[in-house]
Each structure stands twice: as C-alpha cells, then as structure tokens.
Amino acid sequence: MQTKSSWADDIEDEDPYQPKVFTDENGIKNIIEYKENDAGKKVKGPGAAPPSAGESMRGGADRRDDNCTLRVTNLSEDVTDNDIHDLFRRFGNITRVFLARDRETRMCKGFAFVSFADREDADRAQQAVNGYGYDNLILRVEFARSQ
C-alpha cells in the first residue's frame, strides 16, 4: 500500500539564509539576501529587493520630509508625469513627482504626490491648483500627511 505524500515532502532542504536569485518577467536578475536580526528573526539584508506589501519603505534617518509634499487627487487616467510637472512647475522648484499607476495597465490611478524644495512654493501651488479644472475634472490638492 502506497502512502500519500505530503506537500511538505516536495520542499527541498535548503539553507534559508542563502541569497535567492531569480529572473523577473523582463529578464532582470534579482538577488534577495537574508540575515538574522537581534531578535533572531529572518529579515531581508543588504542587497535585498524592495520591501514587499506590508513592509514600510520609510527608514529612520533617511526618512523623507513631507512638509513640502502635496497630494493631488481626482486626476484622469490619461495624466502623465510630464502633465503634472507642467501644471506645478510655475510655482517653484519641484524635487519629486510620484504618479500612482496601475501595475498592469500603467494608467494613472487618479492621484499623485508633488514635492517642492520650499514650503512657500508648495503652499502657493496648493492654493492655486486646488479646485482647478483639469482634463474635465476638478482637482483636489492638499498637503500630504506623514504616516
């Protein structure tokens, strides 16, 4: 009589701390390295891939200052990074634009973040663009909240 194999029988015994190398759908080779933290928990180490869902990308010392960052909502799905730059560049020096996109379609999800070098520039942009009609939609612009 044959015994039914368990799903665990298919798992190879391998060192969980060895770097994992994989190639994504675009042919880019990625390496994930693991190490043990002070509590003995396995964590991603140097050279690791970006944090996955649920992990915070905000570190301690290199945490971004969001005092000069605006959250722009009610954007149409056709908006591009250049459109956002064109809309906000007249108010001052833009340091970063993040346009949220759908992973599959690459279309805009309807919101973006715009960071300025100066708080005064961000304040002027917020006052001028909030309620502004753009691409048949009324934009809402507010200061981003830190998490």
**What CATH number did the domain enclosing 104 receive?**
3.30.70.330
The residues that bridge with 97 in the sheet, in sequence order, are: 114
Q: Note whether 123 and 90 are same-domain residues.
A: yes
Q: Note whether 74 and 130 are same-domain residues.
A: yes
In a domain, 4, yes or no: no
Per-residue pLDDT of 107-123, as tens digits, reads 999 999 999 999 999 99
Region of 91 on the Ramachandran plot (φ > 0 left; ψ -120 to 50 alpha; else beta): alpha
What helix, strand, coil percent values describe the chain, rounded to 5?
20, 30, 50
In a domain, 10, yes or no: no
Average pLDDT over residues 41-55: 48
Q: Note whether 72 and 110 are same-domain residues.
A: yes
Per-residue pLDDT of 50-108, as tens digits, reads 444 444 445 544 455 678 999 999 999 999 999 999 999 999 999 999 999 999 999 99
In a domain, 25, yes or no: yes
- Range(s) of the domain holding residue 134: 66-143
Number of domains in the chain: 2
